[in-house]
C-alpha cells in the first residue's frame, strides 16, 4: 500500500482571464512587396492577410509576454503571487537554456513558480492549456499562467515568396484556475512526424554554427501540403474534440482556430458545417500568423470587441510544425 498522500486539486479547471499584446508597428502588404515579386491582391486572396505586426528591438519575447500576462492576471482577478506555474510556448526564443518562462515569471512578480518552455509550434497554446488543466486538477498549482508568444519576424525569410507575407509577432496569455464545473474539455492532440519536413527551420543551429551560411535560419513550408493537411485532417481532429466534450456544432458559440490562413479557416468552417450563428475568429487579417500566440490573441480580441462573451462555449484548435495539433472545447472567461 502506498504511503504517498493523494493530491488535493480542484475538481475541474477553467480559463479565468485572457490578455494580449501586439507590437506597435503595423506592416502592410506593401512593405512585404518590397522584397518579393507578388501583389497585394495575390497575398489577400491566398492568405486573407492585409497587415501584420512586427516587433521592435525593445519588444522582446519577454517584454511582449509580460504585457499580455499582466492583462490576463488582472482579468482573472488574482495577484501575480498566486501564480503557481508559468508555461511559455514559443519557437522564437533563441536561447536553448534557460527557459524564457523563468525570466517572465520574475518580471510579472510571480514569486517562485514552476516555469518552463514548450516547443509545439502553432499547437503550442493547446499543449500548454492541457498541461495547465492537469496541474490545477492534480493540485500542483492553483493558478497557471499559459503564454503563447512569437517574434516570427526574426525567423522570416523576407525574400521567400511562399512565406514572407505570412508571419507576425505578438503574445497572448491566459490564467487557468480552479472550477466547480467542467470548463476545459478533453484535448485531442497528436503528431504526424512523417510530415515534419512540410514546415521546418531551414538550417539547424548546429549547422549554422559550423558552416555560417549567409542567410540566418528561417521558417519554410510546403504550402499546398500544409493546406490540404490542415483543411481535411484538422477538421477531423476538431470534430473529435467536439465529440469528446459532448458538444454538437450547433451548441458552439465561438470557433477559434489557429490563425494560419483565411482560406484554411473558411474551409474548416465549411467542412465542420458550423452554423452561421457561430462566431469565427479571423484575426489573421490584421495580425498575420503568430504561431503559438494566435489563439489567445484571437480570443482576447473577440472578447474585447464584444463578438464573444464570458461563458460562451468555444472550440479551439492549433496545428503546425512537426506536424502537431491540439484541439479542445473551453468556456470563455
Residues 6+ apart with CB under 8 A from 97: none
Mutual angle of helices 61-76 and 294-305, in 10-degree steps = 40
Catalytic (active site) residue 29? no
Residue appearing with cell numbers 508555461 = 87
Q: How far does CA 152 lie from the centroid of its chain?
A: 13
Residues 6+ apart with CB under 8 A from 41: none
Catalytic site residue from 53, 93, 122, 261: 122
Nearest alpha carbon to residue 46 among 326, 324, 263, 284: 263
Catalytic (active site) residue 93? no
Nearest alpha carbon to residue 185 among 330, 312, 18, 313: 330
Element (H, E) at 104: helix 100-107
Q: What is the dihedral sign for C-alpha 264, 189, 166, 304?
A: positive
Alpha helix ranges (H) inside 166-317: 205-211, 223-228, 234-245, 262-272, 284-287, 294-305
Catalytic site residue from 209, 258, 261, 277: 258
Instruction: Give bridge partners of residue 184 from the DSSP assignment.
Output: 330
Catalytic (active site) residue 289? yes
Residues 6+ apart with CB under 8 A from 210: none
Number of CB atoms found within 10 A of residue 314's CB:
22
Nearest alpha carbon to residue 28 among 297, 281, 305, 288: 288
Q: Beta strand 143-151 with 169-179: parallel, antiparallel or unpaired?
A: antiparallel
Q: Which residues are marked as active site?
A: 122, 258, 289
Amino acid at each position: 500500500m502506498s504511503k504517498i498522500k493523494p493530491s488535493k486539486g480542484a475538481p475541474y479547471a477553467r480559463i479565468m482571464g485572457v490578455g494580449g499584446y501586439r507590437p506597435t508597428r503595423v506592416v502592410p502588404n506593401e512593405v512585404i512587396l518590397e522584397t518579393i515579386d507578388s501583389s497585394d491582391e495575390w497575398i489577400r486572396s491566398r492568405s486573407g492577410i492585409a497587415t501584420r505586426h512586427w516587433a521592435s528591438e525593445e519588444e522582446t519575447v519577454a517584454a511582449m509576454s509580460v504585457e499580455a500576462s499582466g492583462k490576463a492576471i488582472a482579468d482573472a482577478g488574482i495577484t501575480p503571487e498566486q501564480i503557481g506555474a508559468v508555461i511559455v510556448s514559443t519557437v522564437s526564443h533563441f536561447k536553448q537554456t534557460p527557459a524564457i518562462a523563468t525570466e517572465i515569471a520574475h518580471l510579472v512578480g510571480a514569486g517562485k513558480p514552476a516555469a518552463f518552455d514548450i516547443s509545439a509550434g502553432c499547437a503550442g497554446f493547446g499543449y500548454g492549456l492541457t498541461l495547465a488543466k492537469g496541474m490545477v486538477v492534480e493540485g500542483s498549482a492553483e493558478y497557471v499562467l499559459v503564454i503563447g508568444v512569437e517574434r516570427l519576424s526574426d525567423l522570416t525569410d523576407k525574400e521567400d515568396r511562399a512565406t514572407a507575407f505570412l508571419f507576425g509577432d505578438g503574445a497572448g496569455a491566459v490564467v487557468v484556475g480552479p472550477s466547480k464545473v467542467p470548463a476545459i474539455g478533453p484535448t485531442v492532440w497528436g503528431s504526424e512526424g512523417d510530415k515534419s519536413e512540410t514546415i521546418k527551420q531551414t538550417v539547424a543551429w548546429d549547422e549554422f554554427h559550423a558552416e555560417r551560411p549567409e542567410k540566418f535560419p528561417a521558417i519554410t513550408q510546403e504550402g499546398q501540403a500544409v493546406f490540404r493537411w490542415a483543411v481535411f485532417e484538422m477538421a477531423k481532429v476538431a470534430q473529435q474534440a467536439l465529440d469528446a466534450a459532448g458538444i454538437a456544432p450547433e451548441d458552439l458559440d465561438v470557433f477559434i482556430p489557429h490563425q494560419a490562413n483565411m482560406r484554411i479557416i473558411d474551409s474548416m468552417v465549411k467542412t465542420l458545417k458550423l452554423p452561421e450563428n457561430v462566431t469565427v475568429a479571423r484575426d489573421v487579417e490584421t495580425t498575420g500568423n503568430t504561431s503559438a500566440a494566435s489563439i489567445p490573441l484571437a480570443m482576447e480580441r473577440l472578447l474585447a470587441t464584444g463578438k464573444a462573451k464570458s461563458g460562451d462555449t468555444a472550440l479551439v484548435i492549433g496545428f503546425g510544425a512537426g506536424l502537431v495539433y491540439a484541439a479542445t472545447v473551453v468556456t470563455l472567461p
